[in-house]
Amino acid sequence: MPEIPVKKMRRDWILIALMLTMSLAAMDSTIVATAIPQIVGDLGGFSLFSWLFSIYLLIQTITIPVYGKLADIYGRKPILIIGIVIFVIGSATCAAAWNMYSLIFFRGVQAVGAGAIMATVNTIAGDIYTIRERAKIQGWLSSVWGISAILGPAIGGALADYASWRWIFLINIPVGAASIALIAYFLHEDKSHKGHKIDWAGAASMLIAGTVIMFGLLQGGQSWPWLSWNTLIIVLIAILMVYVTIRIERRSAEPILPRWVWKKRVILGANLATIGMGIMTMGPNMYLPVFAQSVTGVGAMAAGFILASMSITWPLSSSLSGNLYLRIGFRNTALCGIIIVIIGAASFLFISFPGPIWALVAIQMTLGAGFGLITTPLMVGVQSTVEWGQRGVVTGANMFSRYFGQSIGAAVFAAVFNSVLTDRMTNAPANLQAELPTVNKVVEVLQSHNSVSEVSLYLREAFFYATHNVYAGMVVAGLVTLVILLLTPAKFPTIQEKQ
């Protein structure tokens, strides 16, 4: 089996370093989501807060395949260390942000480092462990996400309630320093320099195309009506950039995402389903903590634990999915998962205002069980269809699909939520119109103990219905993903790897 030659490595310490590094990226989204009300209360700009997720996911997504190629040329170790350094710098500058615009920009800097982390950690694990060992190691790496989903909201909520939201970024600095120290000391590799060419034009065009699409989704219905010249211009620019990206990728000797990845039906179906799954994960990640605090009235820490309840069932179902997909196949296991996710998202539509806490937890745990049955089978499934030399490409494409789906989900759900909330504010009873705040000030009013009770109740109900529409969107995305999986071949043509 070809691999990068590695000498005298302490694999146990390297695994600890990889898990510590992965925790930087894994904990980031949940810890930020929990502190959103405090961030908005300090910096303002509620209608812009979704960009904290959108810009991060977009840049991370586009840079993952680029870092994969850079790691092949210059080695995994320097690329990973550079990524951690950039992430830590981004974290420090986020803590110093003075308004929402500056925080969004610095989150973009963080994302540049996160792309290197997500691409390189999994590559190093593949380099130093055999095929039989990788399933167990991926379980350890996956557990980081579950642990981070619990610790992230807990830490974020505690810091938001008792200190300052700025500390949620500052705590990344010592963790990043420890990761760099362990990797620098224990990871040693013989770098094999090959004549690769980075498709910088393709990466740049993909970033521009994605940014245009995200901007249109976020601003449509807010800064301008959906049916307007502005929307038409955005659509035309997006179509043009997608066309340019396709042309560049076709002419490139080494495209960021090779065409054959999208020509194999099983890989295409798995990746499209992964996009759908990525879309659905952003609904609760973005809005459940805000919903719990603003509608049900719980504190930041409690809201974080509600969000984290998904992490109990996700790793568990993911670890148990192996026995299932060995019996009924990768596609059919993912079908079971998407059905469970649809049931979980649809259940939210039947809860009554303001929503009992136990119901929110139960829904989160149901969603986690479904997501675990989707992610692992589809990832292992596409990896099993190719030889070792192509495994990095299909793994990168699958990761790209997941995060691209999350980027779309962040934009779409923000558009849905903001549109419903704006409509509710516009059509409020006449006696409340004069007292209602702007959309940007809604969270501040709900967090204030001095708010007028009738206005506060109306705003809570508006939040409740806006969040309901987000979960309705998740159901639609789930049904589309279900159809995609039904059209995907049931049998994945596996290739037996030579040891």
At 400-438, the pLDDT tens digits run: 888 888 878 877 888 888 788 777 777 766 666 555 655
Q: How does residue 5 score in pLDDT terms, banded at 50, 70 and 90? A: very low
Query: In the structure, what pLDDT confidence band is assigned to residue 65 with cuts at 50, 70 and 90?
Result: confident
CA distance 383 to 393: 9
Phi, psi of 456 (to 5 degrees): -60, -45
Give the range among 239-248, 344-353, 444-453, 457-466 with minimum mean pLDDT: 444-453
Residue 185 pLDDT greater than 90, yes or no: no
Cis preceding linkage at 315, omega within 30: no
Whether 499 shows a pLDDT value over 50: the answer reads: no
Of 131-135, 157-161, 180-184, which has the strongest mean pLDDT?
180-184
pLDDT for 113 equals 92
> Mean pLDDT over residues 177-198, rounded?
76
Burial of 89 (0-12, 13-18, 19+ CB in 10 A): middle
Phi, psi of 308 (to 5 degrees): -75, -15
pLDDT at 219: 65
- Would you say residue 54 has pLDDT above 70? yes
Most confident of 90-99, 214-223, 473-482: 473-482
Q: Cα(286)–Cα(398) distance, rounded to whole angstroms? A: 22
416 vs 446 pLDDT, higher one? 416
Higher pLDDT, 128 or 115: 115
Residues in the chain: 499
What pLDDT is stored for residue 447 in this prediction? 60
Residue 94 clears pLDDT 50, i.e. is over it: yes
Angle formed at CA 230 by CA 47 and CA 236, multiple of 5 degrees: 115
Q: Is there a common fold for 1-194 and 264-499?
A: yes
- Helix-strand-coil split of the chain, %, nearest 5: 80, 0, 20
pLDDT value, residue 8: 42
CATH domain 1-194 topology: Growth Hormone; Chain: A; (1.20.1250)
Share of the chain above pLDDT 70, in %: 81
Report pLDDT for 490: 84
Domain boundaries, the chain: 1-194, 199-253, 264-499
In terms of average pLDDT, the best of 60-74, 140-154, 195-209, 261-275 is: 261-275
How large a percentage of the chain has pLDDT more than 90?
Answer: 19
What is the rounded average pLDDT for all residues in the chain?
Answer: 79
Segment 115-138 mean pLDDT? 71
164: which DSSP letter?
-
Start-end of H helices in 75-166: 76-95, 100-128, 131-162
More confident residue, 455 or 399: 399
264-499 homologous superfamily:
MFS general substrate transporter like domains (1.20.1250.20)
DSSP code, position 439: G
82: pLDDT strictly greater than 80: yes
Q: Is the pLDDT of residue 3 over 50?
A: no
pLDDT score recorded for residue 337: 94
Distance of alpha carbon 466 from alpha carbon 424, whole angstroms: 9
- pLDDT score, position 341: 95
Q: Which residue has the higher pLDDT, 285 or 339?
A: 339
**Phi and psi angles of residue 356, each rounded to the nearest 5 degrees, phi first:** -70, 145
* pLDDT over 60 at 454, yes or no: yes
Contact 1, 256 (CB under 8 A): no
**Which of the two residues, 423 and 476, has the higher pLDDT score?**
476
pLDDT confidence band for 7 (50 / 70 / 90): very low
For residue 4, the model assigns a pLDDT of 44
